[in-house]
Chain A
């Protein structure tokens, strides 16, 4: 069975500081991995996705993630946090059984303070 684990349900950073949100996956087949962001009272929006083309994936709003097979990780980073980055972030893996079903992690709420 496939799964993702997000370490840390809440992360707090200062504006301008590095953002690091952790995601580890479990998969018996090469995974397709995604990061989504959810702003308050909104739906989910895709930040970036890993599809085996390149291990370092760049997404929107300055975010990027690196796929590390040896560590089964797909951590999300941003060099300098902005206040507008405050949101909930979800890591997800595509179910190997087909039909593009996503399996989500529990989410990490990012707070950015001045």
Chain B
């Protein structure tokens, strides 16, 4: 059972370049999320998607766009990368049938912007 799969695992970008982080889940979850993890700040929500066809901003959405391609896939795009976007990015998914269900996380993408 693959769970949540993210690609790529590592990426180095130059300032101003663009890229898309891919995420797919095979658990038939309705909700999907993108977080970024920075030292001393825990995980902060960038965007989330409650269901196929809907997306909403989280705590730190500036500089990012997302696309919920279908129920399985939720991508995160950086249109013009900046050094402040150097971080570890995590995709997660959860069932939203009950409010107490946990989120399942991918392995992360370590992004460096130089």
Closest CB-CB distance, A17 to chain B, in whole Å? 25
Within 8 A of A (CB), among B14-53: 31, 33, 35, 40-45, 48, 50
Residues of B within 8 A of A94 (CB): 99-100
- For the A-B complex, the count of residue pairs with Cβ-Cβ distances under 8 Å equals 64
The range of chain B's interface size is: 20 to 34
**Which of A36, A45, A100 has the most C-beta atoms of chain B within 10 angstroms of its own C-beta?**
A100
- When the two chains form the complex, which single residue of A49, A90, A101 contacts B33, counting CB atoms closer than 8 Å? A101
Among residues of A, the one whose C-beta sits closest to the C-beta of B38 is A106
Not counting A44-B90, A99-B48, a sample of 4 additional A-B residue pairs whose C-beta atoms are within 8 angstroms of each other reads: A43-B90, A44-B43, A100-B101, A101-B45
| A-B contact list, 26 entries, CB within 8 Å | A32-B99, A32-B100, A34-B102, A41-B107, A43-B107, A44-B43, A44-B92, A45-B105, A51-B100, A94-B99, A98-B50, A98-B96, A98-B99, A99-B48, A99-B56, A100-B31, A100-B94, A101-B48, A102-B103, A103-B45, A104-B35, A104-B42, A104-B43, A106-B41, A107-B40, A107-B42
Interface residues, chain B, CB within 8 Å of chain A? 4, 31, 33, 35, 40-45, 48, 50, 56, 58, 90, 92, 94-96, 99-108
